[in-house]
């Protein structure tokens, strides 16, 4: 994958400030682990209150962190004043989400002026290493200076 050049040299601080305002990630207990042009990793420790009836992390939770990782990966490449919104994604649940912690890795595949295509993968981490539990293909839209939306 070719390296991406961010349109805003202050992309890192913009991403971190935006993530800090995202109530959903706070609710889940997720944190930013890595921010780079076209790439964001989000970490989520296991919590029993986020599981489904079999004790696995709920698919809605793993999908949420993958979606945010993809959105923020796209956001790293946006110009100042632009925002992003996910307009579509497809998810494959590969394995039950069992682990001590989870990492969602969002990567830009193709950056466009209006639409950016991203991949997202969630891995369950524990003493045995990491297990791939979810993969996502997402389309993220650039939103320029719209009322009600900010970075």
Q: Would residue 2 count as lying in a domain?
A: no
pLDDT in tens, the chain (151 residues): 458 999 999 999 999 999 999 999 999 999 999 999 999 999 999 999 999 999 999 999 999 999 999 999 999 999 999 999 999 999 999 999 999 999 999 999 999 999 999 999 999 999 889 999 999 999 999 998 755 555 5
Looking at residue 147, its pLDDT comes to 53
Q: Would residue 6 count as lying in a domain?
A: no
Count of domains in the chain?
1
Q: Would residue 22 count as lying in a domain?
A: yes
Looking at residue 3, its pLDDT comes to 86
Q: Would residue 40 count as lying in a domain?
A: yes
Q: Would residue 4 count as lying in a domain?
A: no
CATH of the domain at 80: 3.10.129.10
Q: Would residue 104 count as lying in a domain?
A: yes
Q: Would residue 5 count as lying in a domain?
A: no
Contact in structure between 19 and 72 (CB atoms under 8 Å)? yes
Looking at residue 74, its pLDDT comes to 98
Pick from 117, 119, 120, 121: which is nearest to 141 by CA?
117
Q: Which domain holds residue 67?
A: 11-144
Q: Would residue 15 count as lying in a domain?
A: yes
- Residues whose CB falls within 8 Å of the CB of residue 20, separated by 6 or more in sequence, listed in order: none
| pTM recorded for the entire structure | 0.94
């Amino acid at each position: 994958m070719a390296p991406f050049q961010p349109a805003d040299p202050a992309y890192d601080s913009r991403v971190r400030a935006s993530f800090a305002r995202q109530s959903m990630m706070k609710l889940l207990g997720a944190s930013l682990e890595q921010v780079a042009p076209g790439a964001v990793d989000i970490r989520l420790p296991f919590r029993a209150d986020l599981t489904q009836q079999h004790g696995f992390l709920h698919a809605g939770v793993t999908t949420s962190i993958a979606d945010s990782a993809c959105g923020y990966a796209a956001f790293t490449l946006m110009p100042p004043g632009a925002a992003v919104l996910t307009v579509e994604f497809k998810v494959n649940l590969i394995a039950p989400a069992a682990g001590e912690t989870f990492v969602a890795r969002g990567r830009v595949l193709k950056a466009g002026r209006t639409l950016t295509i991203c991949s997202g993968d969630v891995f369950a981490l524990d003493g045995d290493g990491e297990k791939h539990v979810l993969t996502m293909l997402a389309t993220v839209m650039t939103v320029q200076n719209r009322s009600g939306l900010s970075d």
